[in-house]
A and B are shown apart, each in its own frame.
Chain A
Amino acid sequence: MEKAKPLLSDQTSEHIYHCAKCGLCLDACPVYREMLVESASPRGKVQLARHIVEGDLEITKHMEDILFSQCLLCGSCVAACPSGVKQDELFSSLRWRAAERHGMPIVKKLFFFVMAHKWIMSTSAWFGKWARKLFSGPAIEKKVIVGNLPISGVPAFNEQPFNSLYPEVVPAVGEKRASVLYFHGCATNFVFDNIGKAVVSVLTKMGVEVRIPRGQSCCGLPIFLSGDRKTSLICIKEVLDQFAREDCDAVIVDCATCGSALRHEHSHILKELKALGENVDDEIIKKAELLSSKVRDVSEYIAEHMDWIPEMKNGGPAVKVTYHDPCHLVKGQGVGAQPRNILKAIPNVEFIEMNEADRCCGGGGEYQIEYGDMSARITNRKVENVEKSGAAMMATGCPGCNITIRAHLDPEKNISVVHTVELLAKALEGDTN
Chain B
Amino acid sequence: MIEKDVLNNLRTIVGEENLLTSKEDLINYSYDSSIDEAMPEVVLFPGTTEQVSEILKMASKKKIPVTVRGAGTNLSGGTVPLKGGIVLVMTRMKKVIEFSKENRYIIVEAGLPNLEMQKIVMKEGLFFPPDPASWAVATMGGNVGENAGGPRGVKYGVTRDWILGLKVVMADGRVINTGGVTMKNVTGIDLTSLFCGSEGLLGVVTEVALKLLPIPPFQQSIQAFFDDVDDASKTVADIIASGIIPVSLELLDRVVINMVEDSRKIGLPRDAEGMLIMMVDGFEDDCRKQSAQIEKICKKHKAKNVEIAQTKEQEDALWKARRDAFGVMSQKRPNCILEDVTVPVSNLPAMVKGTLEIGEKYDLTVGVMAHAGDGNTHPMIVTDKRDAEEWERVEKAIGEIFKLAVDLGGTLSGEHGIGISKKPFMDLIYGEPEYQLMRELKKVVDPEGILNPGKMADALYAE
Contact = CB atoms under 8 A, between A and B. Distances in A.
Interface of A: 17-24, 26-27, 36-39, 44, 47-48, 51, 57, 60, 62-63, 66, 81-84
B142 to A, nearest CB: 11
B336 A20 contact: yes
Interface string B81-104: 000000001011000000000000
B345 interface: no
B92 A36 contact: yes
Contacts, number: 100
A63 to B, nearest CB: 6
9 contacts: A18-B334, A20-B334, A21-B31, A22-B73, A23-B33, A23-B72, A23-B137, A36-B92, A37-B20
Contacts of B33: 20-23
Contacts of B329: 20, 83
A359 B297 CA distance: 43
Contact of A17 (B20, B73, B91, B334): B334
Query: Which of B27, B29, B328: most chain A Cβ within 10 A?
Result: B27
B28 A23 contact: no
A27 B323 CA distance: 13
B235 interface: no
A19 B334 contact: yes
B446 interface: no
A276 B28 CA distance: 28
Contact of B335 (A20, A48, A51): A20
Contact of A66 (B24, B115, B326, B327): B24
Nearest to B260: A82
A20 B336 CA distance: 7
B335 A24 contact: no
B346 interface: no
A17 B263 contact: no
B400 interface: no
B27 A48 contact: yes
Contacts of A36: 45, 89, 91-92, 111
Contacts of A38: 25, 28-29, 72
B72 A82 contact: no
A39 B25 contact: yes
Interface of B: 20, 22-25, 27-29, 31-34, 45, 71-73, 89, 91-92, 111, 113, 115, 134, 136-138, 263-264, 324-331, 333-336, 384, 386
A108 B325 CA distance: 43
Nearest to A40: B28
A47 B72 CA distance: 13
A17 B384 contact: yes
List the 10 shortest-distance A-B pairs measured between CB atoms, nearest first.
A82-B327, A27-B136, A38-B28, A82-B324, A17-B334, A20-B330, A83-B330, A23-B73, A36-B91, A22-B327
Contacts of B264: 82
A18 B136 contact: no
A37 B28 CA distance: 9
A23 B22 contact: no
B322 to A, nearest CB: 11
Contacts of B91: 36-37
- Which of A21, A48, A84 counts the most chain B CB atoms within 10 A? A21
A316 to B, nearest CB: 32
A51 B137 contact: no
A84 B331 contact: yes
A1 B336 CA distance: 31
A128 B325 CA distance: 52
Contacts of B134: 22-24
B31 A83 contact: no
B24 A83 contact: no
Given A20-B326, A22-B33, A47 B27 contact: yes
B348 to A, nearest CB: 25
A23 B133 CA distance: 11
A421 B335 CA distance: 45
Contact of B326 (A18, A22, A39): A22
B136 A24 contact: yes
A84 B334 CA distance: 11
A48 B264 CA distance: 27
Given A22-B33, A22-B330, A83-B263, 9 more contacts: A20-B334, A36-B89, A47-B27, A60-B24, A81-B327, A82-B327, A82-B331, A83-B329, A83-B330
Contacts of A82: 263-264, 324-328, 330-331
B91, B113, B330, B331: most-surrounded residue (chain A CB, <10 A): B330
Nearest to B35: A21
Nearest to B91: A36
A44 B2 CA distance: 25
Contact of A39 (B24, B45, B71, B263): B24
Contacts of B136: 24, 26-27
Contact of B24 (A23, A27, A48): A48
B31 to A, nearest CB: 6
A24 B324 contact: yes
